[in-house]
Amino acid sequence: MPRYLPVVLVLITTTLSLAFVPFHSPPFLKTLNKAVSKRNLVAPINPFPSSTSTSLNGWGPDPIFLPSPVSTRTKLTDGVVGIKLEYTRGEEFTSPGQYVQVRSGVDDADDRTVGYYAITSPSPLPSSSLDLVVKVNDGNGYMTTDDVLEVSQVMGSGFDGTKISGCDCLVVVCTGTGMGPCYSYLTSEGDEERGKRKGGTKVYWGTRDSSWGDQWVSKLEGMGVSVIRVYSGGEGGRYVQDKVKEDGVMGEGKAVMVVGQKGMFEDVKEEAIKRGVEEGRIFSNF
């Protein structure tokens, strides 16, 4: 056997093994996307670009980030801002309760942590803009400073309206910025559909104080929606789910929409079922 044959065989084997490494494997994509980002090409490489793509992170289709300039930024209260973005993919927003992923628009920013934010605008979008309400924390300070943010396509399935159809009353229970997607649903719903509910629509909204949200409350009350505000801060503060239990508003023939922490959701769900609400009529947007 020629002396060089083993070397040739090793080279052939190595070449073939590299040829069959999946180009969509996470290490390959991570390296490639990093290189793309450094060259200011903000849309990550996605081998499955359709809405039915297989996700590498297990949450659904991978985000495709594009730059979205900030039109306005309004401080609503301490630690909460309202943001209006220029957004060209509004036709993807088909169901209130859907969300977008957002990260810093500064390519070499120290922190490009991705945040998940439910859309506050009614559906369909009235213009090429998108409204978000953001609770600011240590990981998303860029939401208060960047003139341009990178925003994904619209994601998630949103609220399932079939769970509300035909109910006698809709009870909405939410906390803090969780009012955003609920507001989106209620302002998207037609007056005729809302008017069919004999018991009306009741929104229980828990916040730490009364320093913000008056514009939401005024709009909803003008539509005939009852809004009950519950404050958890200060002396005598209480949780919104406790007020819902006390009022006894949940029962047979009603639907319950809940947006908030998992513990609150489970607490409300348990009470609703105990009072006769069908489990299939208790829902959230996630």
The token duo for 46 is 């996605």
pLDDT at 27 over 70: no
Sequence spans of domains, the chain: 61-157, 161-283
Q: What's the pLDDT score for residue 109?
A: 66
Which of the residue ranges 55-64, 108-117, 157-166, 249-258 has the most confident prediction, judged by mean pLDDT? 249-258
Name the residue with higher pLDDT: 113 or 85: 85
pLDDT 10s digits, 138-197: 989 999 999 999 999 999 999 998 999 889 999 999 999 999 999 999 999 877 778 788
Name the residue with higher pLDDT: 259 or 37: 259
The token duo for 113 is 């942590």
pLDDT at 262 over 60: yes
Q: What's the pLDDT score for residue 236?
A: 77
Question: CATH fold of 61-157, please?
Answer: Elongation Factor Tu (Ef-tu); domain 3 (2.40.30)
Looking at the chain, the whole-number percentage of residues with pLDDT higher than 70 is 77
CB atoms inside a 10 Å sphere around CB 145: 11
The token duo for 241 is 């789910």
The token duo for 112 is 């490009």
pLDDT at 6 over 60: no
Distances from the Cα of 166 to the Cαs of 39, 82, 197, 199, 200, in angstroms?
53, 34, 8, 12, 12
Phi, psi of 104 (to 5 degrees): -60, 145
The CATH number of 161-283 is 3.40.50.80
Q: What's the pLDDT score for residue 59?
A: 55
The token duo for 117 is 């934010």
pLDDT at 16 over 80: no
Q: What's the pLDDT score for residue 2?
A: 53
pLDDT at 231 over 80: yes
Q: What's the pLDDT score for residue 97?
A: 96
Q: How far apart are CA 87 and CA 238, in angstroms?
A: 38
Asked if 144 and 136 count as a contact pair (C-beta separation under 8 A), the reply is: yes
The number of residues making up the chain comes to 286
pLDDT at 11 over 60: no
CB atoms inside a 10 Å sphere around CB 281: 22
pLDDT 10s digits, 57-70: 445 689 999 999 99
The mean pLDDT of 127-142, rounded to a whole number, is 93
